[in-house]
């Protein structure tokens, strides 16, 4: 009987030694004991294709075609919605241009929600290079990225909003296009926030709502801070008045 | 006629029987322990074609998940970023690093980088990122502390029981949707996770599906 117990213990130890414990890091694909219908003959997003020569199952639309149907989610859930942006016809909204010139005014109504959205998007997509306050000192500039301009420079403060929009949409010089990551409305939100940053970099005490002035005097610093939510209020007015001068 | 069974046969029989009992108990235990996705999937960390590190990019550099996985709020698929996204920075940063040769090559030829897939629900399961992220389920609930992983590792089992555990009691995972990509978020001081979760659950009328057709559609 001792042998039997011994044999069992050895077998158990061998199994444990071979299989390890739960959560063990392994490079091997998970074992599929019963693959049932796990892999159906269909095309998953971003999957590999054996059919197309370039190995992609997701195809690039042919040049000149127009996307049809609504957001990915709605379509995926079986409810394609009509796409308001289908023809991207509004030149000033989608290109930031009118008659070949960059637009000076925002082609959409500005409100605080849009600027807040712009701040959130800016911090996701732009701050890594341009810095939280737009000073051109984002973290990547300390790791080898050069040539990021400071938004508070005279030239950039004079840039028409359409040109900032175009920098996001088409890229500019060393900077690549962010059109794939940022939807047109969000691009305008970012532009509005960039304007707010530029404004805050050159704000006088008089621009700050009275209620917040005391606080500012206390924490006077030399560098420009990103506009906190409360301070964005006067910026809104400024930007809105830019729209209808 | 001589005896068919020798006296030792009795001992053998008993030993075999004892071993069979032990083996079936042990085998069942092993199956329970090693069979489920908690063992088979968790810890899966395949070698990727490029030594991309989330620990560096999302941790040290502090990039938001959305910079690369920019679809995750809008779409069922979080998507792995296109090569162009890497080249935004790496056309300058470490532009000659041998570790990035694959990326530069892909950028030049337009060929896709063959990233090895880590998380995969079976094809008969409907999963949707945007619903979860917009309702305040953080990446960390399902993918673990990605910002501390030099190589992406499968952190949660993604089994049906695991999905349902949260769908029954989402308040243990809910957080303000704006903090969904902040992996280090913790409830504000003085509040517990359940308080925050219940508040958000009520505010956003969160009601995750528990019927079969919710996930098998």
Q: What is the pLDDT of residue A95?
A: 86
Q: pTM for the complete prediction?
A: 0.89
Residue A98 DSSP symbol: E
Per-residue pLDDT band at A62 (split at 50, 70, 90): confident
Higher pLDDT, B209 or A68: B209
CA distance B140 to A45: 22
Chain A nearest CA to B118, separation (Å): 9
Comparing CA positions, the residue from A201, A186, A202, A170 lying closest to residue A122 is: A186
Residue from the list B44, B71, B124 with its beta carbon closest to the beta carbon of A26: B44
Q: Which residue of B has its CA nearest to A138?
A: B61
Total residues belonging to chain A? 245
The number of beta carbons lying within 10 Å of the beta carbon of residue B109 is 10
Which 3 state secondary structure label does DSSP give A241? helix
Q: Where are the domains of chain B?
A: 37-45+119-215
Look at B41 and A30 and tell me if their CB atoms are within 8 Å: yes
Q: Which residues contact A79 (CB under 8 A, 6 or more apart)?
A: A70
Q: Is residue A14 predicted with pLDDT exceeding 90?
A: yes
B38-56, pLDDT tens digit by residue? 998 999 999 999 999 999 9
Comparing CA positions, the residue from A152, A141, A149 lying closest to residue A202 is: A152
Q: Which two tokens stand for residue A4?
A: 């039997």
Chain A nearest CA to B82, separation (Å): 10
Q: What is the pLDDT of residue A244?
A: 34
Look at A144 and B80 and tell me if their CB atoms are within 8 Å: no
Are B146 and B68 spatial neighbours (Cβ–Cβ below 8 Å)? no
Q: Which residues contact A20 (CB under 8 A, 6 or more apart)?
A: none
* Tokens 């029981």 sit on residue: B161
Residue from the list B62, B76, B84 with its beta carbon closest to the beta carbon of A139: B62
Q: What is the pLDDT of residue A89?
A: 67
Comparing CA positions, the residue from B50, B41, B66 lying closest to residue B100 is: B50
Helix count (H) and strand count (E) of chain A? 10, 2
Which residues of chain B, if any, have pLDDT below 50? Answer: none
In A9-38, the residues whose Cβ lies within 8 Å of chain B are 11-12, 15, 19, 22-31, 33, 36-38
Q: What is the pLDDT of residue A241?
A: 37
Q: What is the pLDDT of residue A83?
A: 58
Which 3 state secondary structure label does DSSP give A88? coil
Q: What is the ipTM of this complex?
A: 0.86
Higher pLDDT, B137 or A226: B137
CA distance B217 to B213: 5
Q: What is the pLDDT of residue B75?
A: 85
Q: What is the pLDDT of residue A238?
A: 42
Q: Which two tokens stand for residue A13?
A: 């130890």
Q: If residue A9 lies in a helix (H) or strand (E), which one and from where to where? A: helix A2-19
Q: What is the pLDDT of residue A65?
A: 72
Q: Which residues contact B210 (CB under 8 A, 6 or more apart)?
A: B164, B167, B168
Strand partners, B163: none
3-state SS track over chain B? CCCCCCHHHHHHHHHHHHHHHHHHHHHHHHHHHHCCHHHHCCCECCCCCCCCCHHHHHHHCCCCHHHHCCCCCCCCCCCCCCHHHHHHHHCCCCCCCHHHHHHHHHHHHCCCCCCCCCCCCCCCCCCCHHHHHHCCECHHHHHCCHHHCCCCCCCCCCCHHHHHHHHHCHHHCECCHHHCCCCCCCCCCCCCHHHHHHHHHHHCCCCCCCCHHHHCC
Q: Where are the domains of chain A?
A: 104-243
Look at B76 and A73 and tell me if their CB atoms are within 8 Å: yes
Q: What is the pLDDT of residue A34?
A: 80
Q: Is residue A142 predicted with pLDDT exceeding 80?
A: yes
Q: Is residue A121 predicted with pLDDT exceeding 90?
A: yes
Average pLDDT over residues A50-57: 86
State which fold the A104-243 domain adopts.
Cytochrome Bc1 Complex; Chain D, domain 2 (1.10.760)
Q: Is residue A85 predicted with pLDDT exceeding 50?
A: yes
Q: Which residue of A has its CA nearest to B156?
A: A23
Comparing CA positions, the residue from A185, A178, A171, A181 lying closest to residue A115 is: A185
Average pLDDT over residues A200-221: 72
Q: What is the pLDDT of residue A80?
A: 54
Q: Is A120 on the interface with B (CB under 8 A)?
A: yes
Residue from the list B26, B70, B79 with its beta carbon closest to the beta carbon of A45: B79
Q: Is residue A54 predicted with pLDDT exceeding 80?
A: yes
């Amino acid at each position: 009987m001792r042998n039997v117990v011994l044999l069992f213990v050895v077998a158990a130890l061998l199994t444990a030694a071979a299989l390890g414990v739960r959560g063990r890091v392994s490079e091997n694909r998970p074992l599929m004991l019963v693959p049932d219908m796990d892999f159906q003959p269909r095309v998953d997003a971003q999957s590999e294709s054996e059919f197309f020569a370039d190995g992609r199952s997701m195809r690039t639309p042919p040049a000149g075609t127009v996307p049809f149907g609504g957001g990915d989610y709605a379509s995926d859930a079986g409810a394609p919605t009509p796409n308001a942006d289908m023809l991207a016809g509004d030149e000033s909204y989608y290109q930031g241009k009118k008659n070949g010139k960059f637009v000076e005014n925002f082609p959409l109504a500005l409100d605080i929600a849009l600027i807040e959205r712009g701040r959130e998007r800016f911090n996701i997509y732009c701050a890594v290079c341009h810095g939280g306050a737009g000073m051109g000192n984002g973290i990547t500039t300390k790791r080898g990225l050069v040539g990021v301009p400071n938004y508070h420079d005279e030239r950039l403060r004079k840039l028409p909003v359409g040109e900032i929009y175009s920098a996001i949409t088409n890229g500019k010089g060393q900077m690549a296009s962010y059109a794939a990551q940022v939807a047109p409305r969000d691009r305008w939100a970012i532009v509005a926030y960039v304007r707010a940053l530029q404004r805050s970099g050159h704000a006088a005490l008089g621009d700050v709502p009275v209620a917040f002035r005391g606080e500012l005097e206390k924490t006077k610093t030399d560098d420009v801070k990103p506009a906190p939510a409360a301070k964005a209020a006067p910026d809104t007015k400024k930007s809105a008045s830019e729209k209808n001068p | 006629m001589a005896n068919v069974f020798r006296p030792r046969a009795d001992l053998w029989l008993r030993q075999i029987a004892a071993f069979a009992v032990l083996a079936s108990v042990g085998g069942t235990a092993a199956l329970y322990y090693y069979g489920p996705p908690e063992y088979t999937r968790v810890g899966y960390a395949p070698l990727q074609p490029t030594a991309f590190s989330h620990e560096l990019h999302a941790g040290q550099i502090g990039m938001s998940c959305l910079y690369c996985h920019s679809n995750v709020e809008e779409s069922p698929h979080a998507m792995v970023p296109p090569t162009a996204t890497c080249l935004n920075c790496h056309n300058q940063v470490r532009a000659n690093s041998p570790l990035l040769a694959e990326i530069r090559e892909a950028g030049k030829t337009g060929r896709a980088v063959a990233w090895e897939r880590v998380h995969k629900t079976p094809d008969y399961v409907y999963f949707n990122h945007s619903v979860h992220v917009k309702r305040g389920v953080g990446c960390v609930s399902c993918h673990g502390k990605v910002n501390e992983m030099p190589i992406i590792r499968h952190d949660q089992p993604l089994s049906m029981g695991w999905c349902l555990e949260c769908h029954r009691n989402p308040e243990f995972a809910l957080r303000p949707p704006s903090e969904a990509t902040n992996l280090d978020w913790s409830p504000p001081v003085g509040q517990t996770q359940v308080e925050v979760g219940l508040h958000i659950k009520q505010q956003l009328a969160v009601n995750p599906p528990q019927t079969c057709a919710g996930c098998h559609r």
